[in-house]
Structure 1
Amino acid sequence: MPAPRFQPLTRLILCVLGVVLVQVVLVLVIRSGVTTAAALSHRPAAPLVADFVSSHALLLSVLACPPTFLWIYFCRRVLDCRSFVSLGLRVRRCVRDSLLGVLAGAAAIAFLFGILYILAGFALGHPPIISWSPEAFDTPAPATVAMLVLYAGAFYILGFGEEISFRGYGLHNLAAWLGTTKALIAQAVIFALLHLSNVLVQPAHDNASSSANPTLSVSTLENALWDVRWGMVNIALIGVFFALCYLKTGSLWFPIGFHVSWNFFQGCIFSLPVSGLDVYRLLDIKEITESLSSSLTGGSFGGEGSVLLIPITSALIYFLWRQPDHPQALLDLSLLCQPEQPLQEPEPVSDSTASSELGDVEPPRYSTFKTTLRGSQNGSAHDLERSDTPLLLGVIEKPAPPVTMAPPTPTVVAFEPVVLTPVAATHEPPVPFQETVPPVSAVVVNEPSPNAEKDTPPAPAPVVTPPVPSPPASKPSTGKPPSPRW
């Protein structure tokens, strides 16, 4: 894995400059378009530009997200030399973590709205009345559903972009520069300060200016900044909470789902401003906002400006802080904290060191030849070439002595055992055939009896058959030992 091209701070500065350049180009394009429209309608351009920016702040933020994604992808791949999914965007648990985040975000804002509803009931002496908003009441049902779907998509793009920017690229490079704990705090503070721009471009929710003068007045700006005093604290705590969600789950999909669900249910369902932005509202909760102070409801900044959110977020942060970190998140954060070290050549070992530390290991040797690796069939004597610079081979152990194998055991024939000896066996020559003559005592001679007649011929002598000689014990030797059977 290659090392990153620059230091973490340099990479962060380059990424921020690219994002700011994208915003400036977008504003210039929109301003030129609005100025052209004002010139065609013979109206002053400055009020039209201010009106368009203040009333379409959410749309402008959504339009700036796609080029921001591309720039962050470029920075991650080219500057960090790491994969884009290593920011916590692996697809393995995408659906499950996103759904859990959506449910958790909806439950959190519903819990806050429930507390406001109960407090408003105590303040009014009766349960507050909640009705349909004028936008939803005057709009057909299909159009209302379409508006909710469009705002859900816009909040998803916006939440995805903020999580990739702060808990993704920003957190990883800040952790490589400052460490994980300081990076959590730093990205949360920056995340809170950037939400002040919503107050500067959006008219106050309770004191909207007229169409004739759409710019913010001094009193309206003071009220908005007063409402945002707790909002900055809450958004910083929410930034820490989202970063801890990534550390404990190893994935950005849970904080993305939580972020999207929080903004959508806060603005479109429970009809509270979203970080100072006025969005499409489904319900009318005027009795709740008018019966409670702006410190409880958040005023023009919305639910993030409520002081009630501080203990809720702090409890969630404490609960997550006690949980163990996910190994995948620790691995992703360590990819930039520990860059690859260059390989170093081994130092030669002296004779004394080799003899003392390595025992029977030879001292390092230097080779003055270099060779071209080829196949076993294509080698030649010209592959070895003289080299000017000796190459260190390192410490080479002595080769082990060759193993002498014992001679195999000769095969013994059952009917005639043969003993293999290195010396040629000596065999006696075969005994020649000799006739054996029986002894004289063994021959019986029939002498004529005196009483026998003279005309009777003498009986013939018995014929004795000589014994058949036995065959030789073995073949005549040729002077060579028999070949082994293997």
Structure 2
Amino acid sequence: MEEVMDNFEIDPAFPTESVKKHEEKSPAIKWGWLRAVLFLLANAIASTVVIGVTFLIILIVKGIDLATVMTDRAQIYELMGSNERTILQVAGFLAMLLMVWIFRKFIDRKTMLSLGFKYKGYGVDLIWGLVLGFVLIIFGTLVLMLTGNLTIAEYRIDILSLSISLFLYIVVALNEEIMFRGYVLSNFCESVNKYLALVITSALFMAIHLGNPNLSILALVNLFLAGIVLGIYYIHKQNLWLPIGMHLTWNYFQGPVFGYEVSGTTEQSIIVQNLQGNELLTGGDFGLEGSLLATAGIIIITIFLHFKYKKAPYEKVI
């Protein structure tokens, strides 16, 4: 029984409310979970305001009637091209980054670097992340092609579009990883067992995608599992570069390269594909990440990352 309970102790790599290093300043708010919750609320308000104002400016510039858009939410995705979505993502990212800086400096009283930005010694992990994100998509694509569910209609290359999409998905990866793995997960880990913290933040990660179009039950499950696979490395290493790399290539190769929907949204892509067959296998209109192939791939990669890094040495950054 003691051995079982030992597995659920709070990891010493995360300084808890009762275990503080002498060289650290005490946070303004004692409880890590409360800091995380307050950050999410503050960030939701700040991001909503900034993105909302940016959205209104875009509508005015494009000459689109706001009332028309509000009566049919589907039009938002039709009217917003990659340029507009990129602008909105950047606006939200900057708002989030500002809130992280404020909370880190005045509430946590720690450096931004300590969120997991240390790069020296972690370059290989970034490469691992980039490779694993690509492998996850290529695995599903090859299975669909071999089973006859996916055929390639044509190829088209638009360097400008690909460049804009690359920038967009770099911003998306940075935004979600800094927010959920960097700030929220690290603070929850200071209050509860790191595996419980991972489950909680993965559920929150899933929740922010509830407004995505073409969402299915399986897609929701996979979004939760995505939070697990992107966070499993972080709870062992407290570093962001692997999940950032994995998140980037996962989205980029899924949409702009192979032509799947990315979380329900359509992108201009190099490959124009014809997809048919059972949606449990193909993911349907949500994209490959709404399929059982994604489920299997995510679980396999999660297990791989867990056993690869759970015994890895940890170097604390203040």
From the superposition, tell whether residues 44 and 240 of structure 1 become closer, same or farther in structure 2 (CA, over 3 Å): closer
What are the within-5 Å matches in structure 2 for residues 416-427 of structure 1? none
Higher radius of gyration, 1 or 2: 1
Task: Indicate if the aligned counterparts of 1:34 and 1:45 stay in contact, CA closer than 8 A.
Answer: no
1:132 aligns with 2:154: yes
From the superposition, tell whether residues 34 and 152 of structure 1 become closer, same or farther in structure 2 (CA, over 3 Å): closer
1-structure distance, mates of 2:246, 2:229: 10
**Pick from 261, 264, 270: which aligns with 2:249?**
261
What are the within-5 Å matches in structure 2 for residues 44-443 of structure 1? 44-48=65-69, 50=73, 53-55=76-78, 56=80, 58-59=85-86, 60-93=88-121, 95-120=123-148, 129-132=151-154, 136=156, 144-199=158-213, 224-225=214-215, 228-286=216-274, 289-290=275-276, 292-323=277-308, 324-328=310-314, 331=316
Deviation per CA, 1:276-317, whole angstroms, max 9, x where unpaired? 12122221111xx12x11111111111110012222222222
**Aligned with 1:178: secondary structure?**
coil
Question: Aligned partner of 1:66: which letter?
Answer: L
Task: Indicate if the aligned counterparts of 1:106 and 1:265 stay in contact, CA closer than 8 A.
Answer: yes
**Aligned with 1:91: secondary structure?**
coil
Deviation per CA, 1:105-159, whole angstroms, max 9, x where unpaired? 11221011101111126xxxxxx641326xx3xxxx5xx1121111111101110
Partner of 1:398: none
Deviation per CA, 1:85-116, whole angstroms, max 9, x where unpaired? 11111021354332332122112210111011
1-structure distance, mates of 2:160, 2:58: 27
2-structure distance, mates of 1:44, 1:63: 21
From the superposition, tell whether residues 186 and 277 of structure 1 become closer, same or farther in structure 2 (CA, over 3 Å): same
1:10 aligns with 2:34: yes
Tell me the matched-pair count.
286
Task: Indicate if the aligned counterparts of 1:248 and 1:320 stay in contact, CA closer than 8 A.
Answer: no
Query: Which structure 1 segments of 5+ residues have no match?
Result: 122-127, 200-223, 336-486
Question: Aligned partner of 2:201: which letter?
Answer: Q
- TM-score, structure 2 normalization: 0.81
Task: Indicate if the aligned counterparts of 2:222 and 2:295 stay in contact, CA closer than 8 A.
Answer: yes
How much is the aligned-residue C-alpha RMSD, in angstroms?
Answer: 2.4
2-structure distance, mates of 1:246, 1:104: 15
1-structure distance, mates of 2:244, 2:35: 24
2-structure distance, mates of 1:52, 1:149: 25
Question: Aligned partner of 1:147: which letter?
Answer: S
Question: Aligned partner of 1:21: which letter?
Answer: I
2-structure distance, mates of 1:146, 1:281: 12
From the superposition, tell whether residues 262 and 44 of structure 1 become closer, same or farther in structure 2 (CA, over 3 Å): closer
* Percent of aligned pairs sharing the same letter: 25
From the superposition, tell whether residues 35 and 191 of structure 1 become closer, same or farther in structure 2 (CA, over 3 Å): closer
Question: Aligned partner of 1:47: which letter?
Answer: T
Aligned-pair CA distance for 1:34 = 5.7
Partner of 1:28: 52
Deviation per CA, 1:438-460, whole angstroms, max 9, x where unpaired? xxxxxxxxxxxxxxxxxxxxxxx
1-structure distance, mates of 2:198, 2:283: 25
Aligned-pair CA distance for 1:4 = 0.7
Query: Which structure 2 segments of 5+ residues have no match?
Result: 1-23
Aligned-pair CA distance for 1:174 = 0.8
Ranked by relative contact order (alpha carbons within 8 Å, sequence separation 6 or more), the top structure is 2
Deviation per CA, 1:47-87, whole angstroms, max 9, x where unpaired? 24546632438432332101211211221122111111111
Task: Indicate if the aligned counterparts of 1:9 and 1:173 stay in contact, CA closer than 8 A.
Answer: yes
2-structure distance, mates of 1:34, 1:166: 28
2-structure distance, mates of 1:69, 1:53: 25
Aligned-pair CA distance for 1:19 = 1.1
Structure with greater helix share of residues: 2
From the superposition, tell whether residues 229 and 250 of structure 1 become closer, same or farther in structure 2 (CA, over 3 Å): same
Task: Indicate if the aligned counterparts of 2:50 and 2:95 stay in contact, CA closer than 8 A.
Answer: no
Deviation per CA, 1:179-225, whole angstroms, max 9, x where unpaired? 211101001111111111222xxxxxxxxxxxxxxxxxxxxxxxx34
2-structure distance, mates of 1:320, 1:94: 15
**Aligned with 1:198: secondary structure?**
coil
Aligned-pair CA distance for 1:318 = 2.5
- TM-score, structure 1 normalization: 0.55
